[in-house]
């Protein structure tokens, strides 16, 4: 099973980039220099702390700060820090993600530099970026390894207003659009902040009118709604229906519940799935409540039938790819190349990954047979360890252990290195744990194009992922996180 904290903490890293707080600009703004609305907007002094809640259980905290620095030319420093901590089975999973970004303070001021520091669950690394009009130069630093100069990125589209788009929109009384250079994958995504009708809320026993704005990122695709007082205090951020960031004092924000997320996030079934669901070919039908229409896209594995009461019948099926459809590798990506791409996380162009892929696959030309070889190698050479995670394929290869996210990440990197388009899939899988309760647990597996798409599960060494796998989206897509706590299965057929 995958650790839900991994999925949700990645989502919250993006949420982190939507918030900022600092001293009011009126006390530090040089009269001779015009500054951005991001600096002019009212906000609390000294930054803001938030408690992070999953299904009303605190699993982390967030600190944000936006500061106008003295000197000429004027610069802005933005600090975002996220700490996430939860029980995963019998282990404590914890990660820290901290970003510092510097911008020109003038209107439309460009991004100048950034430092991204990650520690704990997922591995330790620091990314140091320097932005010029010609492009962004990034150096990666990891313990025990030489510094690595990553390929130069295109010129940054991110501007100082993007560091606090909510307060900028409120300051201007207008919707705003911008860009964000993501601190996890170093890709740039568009984002739009839309003003919403104000709302009355009770804060500390007092009814307060709150301004409201909703931000949508091209990466996360989940509206993030922020509530702000007339003095510029951000008091609540809603990340879908499942997660919230609530403004708290530093001491309260850092006082966490120790939540066991497997039990908290699972989807309990009314009865066990039939054994036929584990056969290949095989199928099973579930009656599901709380599944929005955007998740009902029919595929070669999943079919949907809406019911009059708003529920939906989902038929999950599994079968090996047709012999006549299978093709030799290397294969072109039917989606335009994204599923063959080497990235900061997948690292399919790393020498160690390419050498291992060649060793595993050998001279095998049949793409599906080659994919099975990769699946088997990962399943038999990685130790299943829910306390040892890594966010990068080379780190997985080095430590050779982890949960389903590590198994899937390394598999996808090896498949791409072997010329087979592949991607990670997030969803749920059927299991019965020690408490005897039949349930669906969050999980990650692999989809590969071998002439047609097929799914494999390297965690459980399944050359065809069986029909107990219910997919919602691709890894790293926080769009699926609002399903946690809202998805229900009312019947099994």
Taking only the tens place, the pLDDT of each residue in 17-31 is 445 443 344 344 444
pLDDT, mean of residues 297-306? 95
At 249 the pLDDT is 92
**What are 296's two structure tokens?**
């009902």
Share of the chain above pLDDT 70, in %: 91
pLDDT tens-place string over residues 335-353: 999 999 999 899 999 999 9
pLDDT of res. 92: 73
Yes or no: say if 160 and 76 are a contact pair by the CB < 8 Å rule.
Answer: yes
Note the pLDDT of residue 478. 65
The pairing of beta strand 383-384 with beta strand 401-402:
parallel
3-state secondary structure 245-313: EEEECHHHHCCCCCCEHHHHHCEECCCCCCHHHHCCCEEEEEEEECCCHHHCCCCCCEEEEECCCCCEE
Give the β-pairing of 57-69 and 75-88.
antiparallel
Q: What is the pLDDT of residues 105-135, one digit of tens each?
A: 999 999 999 999 999 877 889 999 999 999 9
Report pLDDT for 3: 46
10 Å Cβ neighbour count for 358? 13
Overall average pLDDT of the 292-297 stretch: 89
Structural domain boundaries of the chain?
Answer: 4-253, 275-492
Closest CA relative to residue 284, chosen from 318, 238, 239, 309: 318
Q: What is the pLDDT of residues 405-463, one digit of tens each?
A: 899 999 999 999 999 999 999 999 999 987 889 999 999 999 999 999 999 999 999 99
The two three-digit tokens of residue 194, written as one number? 């839309």
CATH topology of domain 275-492: C8orf32 fold (3.10.620)
Beta pairing, strands 383-384 & 312-318: unpaired
SS3 352: helix
User: Distance between CA atoms of 415 and 364, rounded to whole angstroms?
Assistant: 13
pLDDT band at 400 (very low <50, low <70, confident <90, very high): very high
Q: How far apart are CA 120 and CA 100, in angstroms?
A: 18
In this prediction, residue 201 has a pLDDT band, given cuts at 50, 70 and 90, of confident
Work out the angle at residue 25's Cα, subtended by the Cα atoms of residues 42 and 160, and round it to the nearest 5 degrees: 85
């Amino acid at each position: 099973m995958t650790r839900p904290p991994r999925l949700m903490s990645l989502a919250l890293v993006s949420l982190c980039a939507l918030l900022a707080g600092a001293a009011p600009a009126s006390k530090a703004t040089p009269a001779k220099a015009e500054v951005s609305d991001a600096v002019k907007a009212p906000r609390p002094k000294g930054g803001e702390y938030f408690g992070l809640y999953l299904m009303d259980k605190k699993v982390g905290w967030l600190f944000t700060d936006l500061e106008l620095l003295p000197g000429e030319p004027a610069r802005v420093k933005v600090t975002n820090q996220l700490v996430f901590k939860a029980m995963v089975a019998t282990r404590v999973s914890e990660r820290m993600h901290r970003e510092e970004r510097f911008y020109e303070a003038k209107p439309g001021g460009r991004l100048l530099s950034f430092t991204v520091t990650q520690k704990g669950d997922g591995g330790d690394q620091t990314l140091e970026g320097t932005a010029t009009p010609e492009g962004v130069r990034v150096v990666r630093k990891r313990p025990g390894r030489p510094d690595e100069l990553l390929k130069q990125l295109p010129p940054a589209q991110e501007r100082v207003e993007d560091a606090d788009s909510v307060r900028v929109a409120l300051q201007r009384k207008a919707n705003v659009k911008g860009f964000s250079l993501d601190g996890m994958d170093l890709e740039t995504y568009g984002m739009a902040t839309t003003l919403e009708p104000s709302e009355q809320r009770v804060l500390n026993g007092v009814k307060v009118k709150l301004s409201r704005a909703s931000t949508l990122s091209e990466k996360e695709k989940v509206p993030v709604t922020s509530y702000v007082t007339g003095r510029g205090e951000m008091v609540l951020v809603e990340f879908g229906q499942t997660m919230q960031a609530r403004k708290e004092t530093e001491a309260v924000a850092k006082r966490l519940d120790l939540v066991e997320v497997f039990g908290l996030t699972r989807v309990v079934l009314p009865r066990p799935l039939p054994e036929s669901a584990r056969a290949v070919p095989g199928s099973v039908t579930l009656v599901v409540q709380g599944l929005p229409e955007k998740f009902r896209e029919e595929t070669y594995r999943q079919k949907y039938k809406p019911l009059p009461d708003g529920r939906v019948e989902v038929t999950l099926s599994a079968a090996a790819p047709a012999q006549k459809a299978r093709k030799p590798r290397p294969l072109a990506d039917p989606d335009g190349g994204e599923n063959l791409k080497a990235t900061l996380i997948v690292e399919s162009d790393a020498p160690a990954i390419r050498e291992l892929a060649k060793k595993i696959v050998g001279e095998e030309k049949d793409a599906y047979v080659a994919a099975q070889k990769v699946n088997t190698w990962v399943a038999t050479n990685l130790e299943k360890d829910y306390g040892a995670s890594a966010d990068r394929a080379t780190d997985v290869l080095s430590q050779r252990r982890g949960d389903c996210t590590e198994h899937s990440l390394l598999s996808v990197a090896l498949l791409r290195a072997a010329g087979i388009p592949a991607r990670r899939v997030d969803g749920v899988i059927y299991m019965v744990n020690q408490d005897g309760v039949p349930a669906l647990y969050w999980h990650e597996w692999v989809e590969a194009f071998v002439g047609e798409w097929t799914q494999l599960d390297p965690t459980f060494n399944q050359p065809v992922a069986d029909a107990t796998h219910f997919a919602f989206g691709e890894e790293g897509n926080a769009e699926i996180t609002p399903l946690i706590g809202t998805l229900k299965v009312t019947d099994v057929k």
